[in-house]
Structure 1
Amino acid sequence: MDIQDLKLADYTYHLPDERIAKFPLEKRDESKLQVYQQGNITHTVFKKINEYLPQNTLLVFNNTKVIPARIHFQKSTGAVIQIFLLHPIAPTSVINLAMEASDECVWECMIGNRKRWKKEDVLEKILNIAGETIEVKAELYDVENNQVKLSWRVISEDTTIPNPKFVDIIQALGEIPLPPYLNREAEAADYETYQTVYSEKKGAVAAPTAGLHFTDEVLQNLSAQGIKEEFITLHVGAGTFQPIKVENIVEHRMHNEQIVFTKKNIEVLLANIGSTIPVGTTSMRALESLYWYGVKLTRDISSDFFIEKLYPYQHVVEDLPSTASSLKTILSKMEALGETEITGETEIFIFPGYQFKICKGIVTNYHQPESTLILLIAALIGEDWRKVYKEAMINDYRFLSYGDSSLLLP
């Protein structure tokens, strides 16, 4: 694939602050929906999305669940230290397993007011969980890499009381980390509205927001129409909000995120080649990364499941395996090892010039100008991304995480 000469200035548009949806609609599925199909545009309401999806569509959802990843500790001096959880380091880097830790863990973090936190300082907080008093401590574990060790214990004379799991600790200790562009503190309602109705696997620090429009009723309507659904997991990282700061887009330092696929996921994808539509950019990144993992295994069966940001652009298209062949290679390895689930990491960077291997369209919100997500949309529908965004502006669509939706079918 060719890496084009891409300039950041070609992927911008004017987004007035008043067009950013600071709060969600009262009814999720009442959001606007712009349908783009091979250059033609229709405006409708999201709850009617079943009327516009092609027959035999397989919708792929990201079932990650946002954790309260923003944690505040106060020093005895009064200084407030903010810890923003990014990636687990120990006892495991696998997010769903890290959530099960029972006494301590180490995470890579962003740290607010870092200069006030000395290496020798141990920050403490007392929680009450299910009627038990819990002491939580935070200390700098690896200063250079912003790694923080969190430990906790039940304060009780009864030594038989088990420690809560880490997922329970952060549920009581942390706050939902809303996107920075909302420019407001999280409210009680956000703990529900900033989750999809199908969220399940705890570990994301940002919601897969394309899924916020779906309700149980919409899902039932889709099923009644014969639209199939499948749930995969990509734990969305804070890097999804990282702006591009270099004029040569290819030089952007891409964030990596953890993805999980089951054997069933891959079997379903194999049975639905040519009709798979992801819900959200996170689902799209996960699905396309899966294909490239199969390519890696085709070349070296011992390859790790890690997709470097420019890996897709390092191949002659004619030499690549088919989508079916790639997925079958992954299944063969899983069956040989007796695996029912695989966990990987991806920093795949999808920009114009990319050729999609699994995804045939996308359900997505409206993204920030000069962002990696605008580039992904441009990779899918070309220069028509400008037409889609112009239509959204003219028709008073709401933008970004809590905003309106689009169905893009190139």
Structure 2
Amino acid sequence: MYSLSDFDFNLPPERIAQFPLPDRSASRLLHLDGAQIIDRTFADIVDLLQPGDLLVMNNTRVLKARFFGVKDTGGNVEVLVERVLDNRTVLAQVRASKSPKPGTKICLSDAFWVTAGERAGEFFTLHFDADVFDLIETYGRLPLPPYIEHAAGEVDENRYQTVYSKEPGAVAAPTAGLHFDEALLDKLRAKGIRTAEVTLHVGAGTFQPVRVEKLDEHKMHTEWYTIPQATVDAVRETKAAGKAVVAVGTTSLRALESASQSGQLEAGSADTALFITPGYKFRTVNRLITNFHLPKSTLLMLVSAFAGFEEIRAAYAHAIASEYRFFSYGDAMLLTTKEIY
């Protein structure tokens, strides 16, 4: 049984990518093939996938979810929208010297007012007087991850979204998808590699480290996902042909595996709190494209479950020594699962 300390590693701060590369597909790609580690570039993905393979991509779009404002009592607040519940209501993290009580009015971005509702665990319910998505897009700020030290600028507005994003609702990007540009997608399609979509709205909890040594005591954050029937059909056709289902990012993988708990992939929408650790038996995904993950994170545990604990430790040590770029704006990995259920 693994414990939290097994998933710690020492990362020099200079290895954390602060800005994206000029070209999306110019990142490096660490190809982990069993125990073999091969240094490649991301554009090599065309050669590493086969005709008939299926790339499953998360089409979520990052909201401009961060706001600064002031309560009607005068106190400053910072708001990070976690989830849109309907077109007038959100769940949000609210940072203030004193937590707002139900009924408190908050002016955001010197532009509009919201009303605090009841607490929902660590979040607050906030009620808007106009369309949530319009106000967020007009007045919000892009919520870059906490390890990126600059405020979001014009470059980030474009590069912290995938080129295929279309369903607004995430507060963090599905970063493995950031390496794809239209030219690369065209090359993949020309080779006969198919694509399908899922939606999983990434929450801020994706950046939270696990804080309990015993992993079975960790309470996993929830995220909302949906699997279209067309994607289910594409997965079944791919498997029937003996080809690989390739998840683009851990979010796509979590959506697919969450919808496969009956033993086969099923269409639909739900919340998932699936916590994947070594020993988990994968039901749908054969290969995974992913970035490098934070120490002690649930995502590091997920990739260790997928490709092997010792293999991932060796790959991360190689990546650090070889000066790969880490985290959201960093380089990528291509992994193959050791076994599928």
Residue 114 to residue 204, structure 1, CA distance change in 2 (3 Å): farther
1:83 maps to a residue whose letter is V
1:358 is matched with which residue? 284
2:282 maps to a residue whose letter is F
2:107 is matched with which residue? 124
**8 Å contact from structure 1 (residues 207, 236) kept in 2:** yes
Q: Give distance in 2, aligned partners of 1:344 and 1:119.
A: 28
Correspondence list, 1:286-365, <5 A? 286-292=255-261, 295=262, 321=263, 326-327=264-265, 330=266, 342-365=268-291
Q: Give distance in 1, aligned partners of 2:43 and 2:176.
A: 13
Q: Give distance in 1, aligned partners of 2:53 and 2:103.
A: 56
2:280 maps to a residue whose letter is Y
2:10 is matched with which residue? 14
1:389 is matched with which residue? 316
| RMSD between superposed Cα atoms in Å | 1.9
**8 Å contact from structure 1 (residues 136, 150) kept in 2:** no
Deviations 1:184-219 (A, max 9, x none): 321222111100011010000000000001011110
2:113 is matched with which residue? 137
Q: Give distance in 2, aligned partners of 1:144 and 1:343.
A: 21
Q: Give distance in 1, aligned partners of 2:195 and 2:116.
A: 43
**8 Å contact from structure 1 (residues 260, 343) kept in 2:** yes
Residue 256 to residue 77, structure 1, CA distance change in 2 (3 Å): closer
In the TM superposition, what is the alpha-carbon distance from 1:83 to its structure 2 partner? 1.2
Q: Give distance in 1, aligned partners of 2:137 and 2:189.
A: 33
2:163 is matched with which residue? 197
Deviations 1:17-40 (A, max 9, x none): 111001111111111011111222
1:176 is matched with which residue? 142
> Which ranges in structure 1 are unaligned for 5 or more consecutive residues?
90-97, 128-134, 154-164, 296-320, 331-340
2:95 is matched with which residue? 112
1:219 is matched with which residue? 185
* Percentage of pairs with the same residue: 37
Query: SS of 2:154's equivalent?
Result: coil
Q: Give distance in 2, aligned partners of 1:8 and 1:124.
A: 41
TM-score (norm 2): 0.92
Equivalent of 1:188 in 151, 154, 168: 154
Equivalent of 1:238 in 204, 208, 216: 204
2:66 is matched with which residue? 70
2:128 is matched with which residue? 151
2:67 maps to a residue whose letter is I
Residue 223 to residue 254, structure 1, CA distance change in 2 (3 Å): same
In the TM superposition, what is the alpha-carbon distance from 1:59 to its structure 2 partner? 0.7
In the TM superposition, what is the alpha-carbon distance from 1:106 to its structure 2 partner? 2.4
1:92 is matched with which residue? none
Query: SS of 1:47's equivalent?
Result: helix
1:44 is matched with which residue? 40
Residue 148 to residue 136, structure 1, CA distance change in 2 (3 Å): farther
Q: Give distance in 2, aligned partners of 1:118 and 1:378.
A: 42
Deviations 1:225-265 (A, max 9, x none): 11111111111111111111011112111011101111111
Q: Does 1:260 align with 2:230?
A: no
75-84 or 48-57, which deviates more? 75-84
**8 Å contact from structure 2 (residues 83, 90) kept in 1:** yes
> Which ranges in structure 2 are unaligned for 5 or more consecutive residues?
none
Q: Does 1:277 align with 2:260?
A: no
1:298 is matched with which residue? none
Residue 385 to residue 126, structure 1, CA distance change in 2 (3 Å): closer
Residue 291 to residue 106, structure 1, CA distance change in 2 (3 Å): same
In the TM superposition, what is the alpha-carbon distance from 1:402 to its structure 2 partner? 0.5
In the TM superposition, what is the alpha-carbon distance from 1:6 to its structure 2 partner? 1.6
Q: Does 1:407 align with 2:297?
A: no
Deviations 1:85-107 (A, max 9, x none): 11234xxxxxxxx3xx2xxx222
Query: SS of 1:87's equivalent?
Result: strand
Q: Give distance in 1, aligned partners of 2:10 and 2:251.
A: 24
Query: SS of 2:153's equivalent?
Result: coil
* Count, aligned residues: 332
Q: Give distance in 2, aligned partners of 1:406 and 1:255.
A: 24
1:179 maps to a residue whose letter is P
1:43 maps to a residue whose letter is D
Q: Give distance in 2, aligned partners of 1:149 and 1:352.
A: 38
**8 Å contact from structure 1 (residues 71, 82) kept in 2:** yes
In the TM superposition, what is the alpha-carbon distance from 1:118 to its structure 2 partner? 4.9
**8 Å contact from structure 1 (residues 67, 203) kept in 2:** yes
Q: Give distance in 2, aligned partners of 1:107 and 1:237.
A: 13
Q: Give distance in 1, aligned partners of 2:329 and 2:249.
A: 13
Equivalent of 1:29 in 21, 25, 31: 25
Query: SS of 2:186's equivalent?
Result: helix
Q: Give distance in 2, aligned partners of 1:14 and 1:390.
A: 9
1:176 maps to a residue whose letter is L
Query: SS of 2:301's equivalent?
Result: helix
